[in-house]
Amino acid sequence: MRKRKAGTGAQDSPDLARRQFLKAGAAGACALCLGTLAGFPPTAAAQPRNPHTAEKGLIRRERSPWFRSLERNEIECTLCPKACRIRPGRRGACRVRENRNGSGYTLVYGNPALVQLDPVERKPFFHVLPGTRALSVSTAGCPLECAFCEVWDMALVSPEDLHAYDLPPEDVIEHARGMDARSISYAFGEPVAFYEYMHDTAALARREGLLNLVHTSGYINFEPLAELADKLDAVNIDLKSFEPEFYREFCGGELEPVLDCLRHFKTKGVHIEITNLVIPTLNDDMSAIRELAQWIHDELGPDVPLHFGRFYPLYKLANLPPTPVSTLDQARATAHEVGLNHVYVARVTGHDGENTYCPACGEVVIRRLGFVVEETRLEGGSCAACGAHIPGRWA
């Protein structure tokens, strides 16, 4: 793997306009929570605690079953492969799981820092209910610490550093219904960090006929993964590289648990899409991309959609350039060469890699411009031109 030293932290870069991502504005609201879009009234700084008002600080603590007791009142988190051993009064690496007198607590249950209505294509899901809207929720926290994190100022901070809503699972469902959302999306931050909140919301959403969509790093242990999988309809997993060294150096984690997560979702019949952010000089070697695509083909199947994302300089990698479109084109061609049928180019608006093509006849079955679906030529999940089945969640 070709390596390049990470740049300075995000606070040192003048290019990082995302510094204010989900941070409090002058009125005390989250900068991108888009409260009115999500059905919330504007926030007023002087309001008392209100479920429709974003407030700074810890709002609620909930006991979590995903801990085991150790000696001297210490506990071990069993949610993710880091297996953080936590002393009383301390927190795990994700910043949102705490030891309180020998018991494990989640600090973000029902406290989303982001509540937002989006096109499902933004997640990105290109083979799930195209053209519909998903209600996204996310909180602080992440078990990994990627040098290229795009939401570092939500995922890599403590929950008391953000403004958050008091929004328990039943209220999430109510708002989704009120906005005619077809799905709930646990995305933008890292859903594993707010596992208990996601789990309970997903159970309610399933009963209400809403789809459950998750965009995650897939860094989770088998037991909590198995308990969650039955409640999910579709997942988009960030497969950041196929080189273990990349995960260790730039993400603070390991590759194999992510591959195990993908294998499990495959066995459970959950719809899978994969995102690979292509970063210049770090994971853009075509031999490694070929290996990644070959693994997807052999282990998950040729119909799993793969999104190659364009990197933009931010956080600790602000010194690197944006990914050349030619590199994304080469990555897409490489994935097609190994036999993947649905390979996309993300974050290059107007690229033909935004469209879905029938692998049998080559016709466009879904035409997109950014997150906008311009044309759909599917009939019952099949190509309108030749009748070939296109895998996905179309209804």
Same domain, yes or no: 290 and 211: yes
Give domain status of residue 92, yes or no: yes
- Total domains present in the chain: 3
Residue 331 lies in a domain: yes
Is 31 part of a structural domain of the chain?
A: no
List strand residue ranges (DSSP E) for 73-120, in order.
75-77, 85-86, 97-100, 103-106, 114-119
Q: Are residues 92 and 115 in the same domain?
A: no
Round to whole Å and give the CA distance between 303 and 335: 12
Domain-ending residue, one of 106, 137, 172: 106
Element containing residue 138 per DSSP (H, E): strand 133-138
Within-domain flag for 17: yes
97-146 per-position pLDDT tens digit: 999 999 999 999 999 999 999 999 999 999 999 999 999 999 999 999 99
Counting residues of the chain whose pLDDT is more than 70, the rounded percentage is 87
On whether residue 42 sits in a domain, the answer given is: no
- Is 381 contained in some domain? yes
Asked whether residue 70 falls in the same domain as residue 197, the answer is: no
Question: Cα torsion at 194, 195, 196, 200 (round to 10°)?
Answer: 110
Which domain, by its residues, includes 367?
356-395
> What tokens does 217 get?
């790093």
Across the range 284-313, mean pLDDT stands at 98
- CA-wise closest residue to 356 among 376, 332, 331, 386: 376
Last residue of a domain, one of 73, 106, 139: 106
Predicted local confidence at residue 316, as pLDDT: 97
How far is Cα 353 from Cα 367, in angstroms, rounded to an integer? Answer: 10
Dist. CA 264–CA 127, nearest whole Å: 20
Q: Are residues 102 and 139 in the same domain?
A: no
Tokens of 278: 């292509």
For residue 234, the cross-strand partners are 213, 271
Query: Is the domain of 170 the same as that of 245?
Result: yes
| Domain CATH code at residue 138 | 3.20.20.70
Q: What tokens does 115 get?
A: 């509540």
Q: Is residue 117 part of a domain?
A: yes
Q: Is the pLDDT at 10 greater than 90, yes or no?
A: no
Same structural domain for residues 304 and 324?
yes
Residues 304/296, Cβ–Cβ less than 8 Å:
yes
- Please state which of the ranges 49-53, 155-159, 280-284, 346-350 shows the lowest mean pLDDT: 49-53
Same domain, 209 and 328: yes
Select from 337, 354, 371 the last residue of a domain.
354
Instruction: Please confirm whether the linkage preceding 168 is cis (ω < 30° from 0).
Output: no
Identify whether residues 93 and 192 lie together within a single domain: no
Q: Mean per-residue pLDDT for 54-78?
A: 93
For the chain, helix, strand, coil in percent to 5 are 30, 25, 50
**Residue 347 and residue 365 in one domain:** no
Give all strands of the β-sheet with 356-357 in edge-to-edge order.
356-357, 364-369, 372-376
pLDDT at 55: 86
Question: To the nearest whole percent, how much of the chain has pLDDT over 90?
Answer: 84
Determine how β-strand 211-216 pairs with β-strand 183-186.
parallel
Q: What is the pLDDT of residue 51?
A: 56
The β-bridge relationship of strands 85-86 and 75-77 is: antiparallel
In a domain? residue 50: no
- Same domain? 297 vs 379: no
Range 349-378 average pLDDT: 97
Domain co-membership, 212 together with 285: yes
Question: Domain check: are 341 and 377 in the same one?
Answer: no
